[in-house]
Amino acid sequence: MICSVKLFAMAQQRTGQQEIKVTVESPATVDNLKTAISVQFPELGDVLPHCMVAVNTEYASPADPITESDEIAIIPPVSGG
Amino acid sequence: MITIVRHPIDHDAVLRAVSSHQAGAVLLFLGTTRQFTGEKETTALDYDCYEEMALKQMTRLAEQAKEKWQLQGVAMMHRVGHLELGEASVAIAVSSAHREAAFDAGKWLIDTLKEVVPIWKKENWSDGTTEWVHHGC
C-alpha cells in the first residue's frame, strides 16, 4: 500500500516536501512505516529515530497498525511555547 | 478559548476569555521571543504547527487542567509564522477561586504544551543561519 505522510519543520526542510508517499507492505505497523521511510527517504534517516508518529492526529505507538486511509504525520521533537 | 493565530497575540482577549465572578485569581503567562540563548543571538523566530493535532492536544490539556485544579476558566493562544524579538508566541490564562491553583495550573499548562503540542520553532540566528529546534535530534 502507499501511505501519505505529512512532514513538518526539519523533516519538511530536509525533503522539500510537506507530504511524502511511502510504499509499505500491508498489513503494517507504525514501526514498519518508519523503517520504510528511512529506506525511501534516506535524508530523514538520522532524524526519524527521534520522531514520534501521529495517526489520525493522535500519538501512536510503534506496534500500532496503520492503513492507507489513515492520516499519518511524522512529529519531530516539539519546540513550541 | 483554544486557538492558533497568525497575527500578534491579543492577551486582553485571552484574559477576557477566563473572566469569572467565581474567580479570586487570574493568571496570565506570555512566552516571548528572547534575544540570546547562551551566546547565540536570535534575530527572529518562525513557528510551524500541525494545526489540527495541536488544537486537539491543547484542548485536552485545558480540559485536564480544568478538572485537576477546579479552574473557572482556561484559555490558550499560540501564534505561528514569523515573530520578531520581544513578541509573544504563546499566551495562557487561567482563573480559579484561589491563587495556588492558578499558579500550579499555569505552570503545568505551559510545561506540558512544550512537551506534547506539535508546534516547532526555527531560530533565525544573527549570523544569517537558521535552525529548527528539535531537542535530542
Q: Is residue B137 part of a domain?
A: no
Q: Which ipTM value was assigned to this complex?
A: 0.96
Q: What's the whole-number average pLDDT of chain A?
A: 97
Judge: B137–A50 Cβ closer than 8 Å, yes or no.
Answer: yes
The grid cell for B102 is 492558578
Q: Is residue B16 part of a domain?
A: yes
Instruction: Report the predicted TM-score, pTM, of the whole model to 2 decimal places.
Output: 0.96
Q: What is the pLDDT of residues B26-37, one digit of tens each?
A: 999 999 999 999
What range does the domain containing B99 cover? Answer: 2-132
Residue with cell 529515530: A49
Residues from chain A that touch B90, judged by Cβ atoms under 8 A, are 80-81
Judge: B48–A8 Cβ closer than 8 Å, yes or no.
Answer: yes
Please identify among residues 66-95 of chain B the ones whose CB lies closer than 8 Å to any CB of chain A.
78, 89-90
Q: What's the structural domain count of chain B?
A: 1
Q: Is residue B6 part of a domain?
A: yes
Shortest alpha-carbon distance between residue A27 and chain B (Å): 25
The grid cell for B128 is 544569517
Assign residue B16 the CATH number of its domain: 3.90.1170.40
Domains located in chain A, CATH noted: 2-75 (3.10.20.30)
State the sign of the Cα–Cα–Cα–Cα dihedral A49, A52, A55, A61: positive
